[in-house]
């Protein structure tokens, strides 16, 4: 998995937001607000990464067990897929 380069993440105040740019707005013209873990996952998706690698990265960074991390990351990945924010 790797994120689309037609989306950007920025911190506005205390909020992390992910937004579609240009052509990508035809499919998703909204905004995704994410917490710090979501922001961390988005950063990991800059390079091609498997779900297992992602779960390892999350458990190494945060105090969370692998099952919870896998469930949370899986849900977030699904959301990103739905809006077209994953390139593959």
Q: Which is nearer to another protein, 45 or 69 (CB)?
A: 45
**How far is the C-alpha of 19 from the C-alpha of 42, rounded, in Å?**
12
**How far is the C-alpha of 63 from the C-alpha of 69, rounded, in Å?**
10
**The pair of three-digit structure tokens given for residue 51, joined into one six-digit string:** 């779900």
Q: Does 21 bind another protein (CB under 8 A)?
A: yes
Region of 30-38, 45-53, 55-63, 77-85 interacting with another protein (CB under 8 A) = 30-38
Strand partners for 50: none
Q: Which is nearer to another protein, 2 or 12 (CB)?
A: 12
Look at residue 15 and give its three-state secondary structure.
strand
State the minimum distance, in angstroms, from the CB of residue 20 to another protein: 9
Q: Which is nearer to another protein, 10 or 81 (CB)?
A: 10
Closest CA to 86 of 52, 50, 56, 57: 50
Instruction: Give the interface with another protein as residue ranges (CB under 8 A).
Output: 5-6, 8, 10-15, 17, 19, 21-23, 25, 30-31, 33
């Amino acid at each position: 998995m790797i994120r689309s380069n037609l989306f950007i993440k920025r911190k506005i105040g205390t909020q992390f937001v992910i937004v579609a740019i240009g052509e990508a707005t035809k499919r998703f013209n909204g905004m995704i607000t994410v917490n710090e873990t979501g922001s961390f996952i988005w950063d990991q998706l800059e390079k091609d990464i498997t779900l297992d690698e992602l779960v390892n990265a999350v458990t190494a960074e945060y105090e969370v067990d692998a099952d919870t991390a896998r469930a949370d990351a899986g849900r977030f990945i699904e959301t990103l897929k739905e809006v077209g924010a994953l390139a593959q």
